[in-house]
Amino acid sequence: MTDILTAQREPAGTRWWRRPWVAPLFLLVAVFLAFSLPRYLTFDPAQSRVPAPGGASWHYPLLVAHVLLASIAMITGSLQVWPWFRQRYPLAHKYLGRVYVFVGVLPAGISGFIVGANSPFGPINQVSNVILAVLWLGFTAAAVHAARQRRFGEHRKWMIRSFALTMSIITNRLWGIPVGLWLEPQLETTFGGSVVALSQAVSGLTAWLGWTVTLLAAEWWLQRRKKRSVGPRQAPAVAVA
């Protein structure tokens, strides 16, 4: 997020600790990366959570690139949505926004599209991955376009949507717990004893829930914030009248 509309800036007296969601956000990102990233830093295909489809040699290097670049997007994006950091260090905010877009989302989205389209977890997962990658790239491109046209209010909204999709990999994992608990008892009935069918169902559902629910939550927050910002602007007009 390279800039923010001046009218939407937080009050000068706002302190970093008055944002109760900041610490949980950074903790969530740190814990997720601590548990998920090390296996890919070994560059050992045997430790990958995603098996290469048909033993394709290109799959693992592209998967590692996607994981590392998406991690950059996750870290820089977390700083970008932090109001205190944005106001305190505007220049760092500007350059981190470029890192988020051009080092994180752009290459991670392209590699994610290719890897996701070839997912070994079934067609439901593949379709979700492809749509997610397209929207991730599209929302980020819309944010950059709005910033270049100096429509910073729209820029901020598109960046929030983009960051929601950046975080969807974490919510994907979280959804896996209740979905797994729900479907696993149905292995012998609904899935006819097929572990593959069960695995694809769990993976497909969590893939869709991971980004759709997160995006809907972000959209709800944007609409709620919009309604709250309209009220104060209308109140003075009534008082003057």
Q: What is the pLDDT of residues 116-163, one digit of tens each?
A: 999 999 999 999 999 999 999 999 999 999 999 999 899 999 999 999
Q: What is the pLDDT of residues 10-52, one digit of tens each?
A: 444 455 556 678 889 999 999 999 999 999 999 999 999 999 9
Is residue 214 within 8 A of residue 171, CB to CB? The reply is: yes
Is residue 136 within 8 A of residue 112, CB to CB? The reply is: yes
* Distance between CA atoms of residues 73 and 88, nearest Å: 21
Q: What is the pTM of this model?
A: 0.84
* Distance between CA atoms of residues 99 and 96, nearest Å: 5
Taking the mean position of all CA atoms in its chain, how far away is CA 25? 12
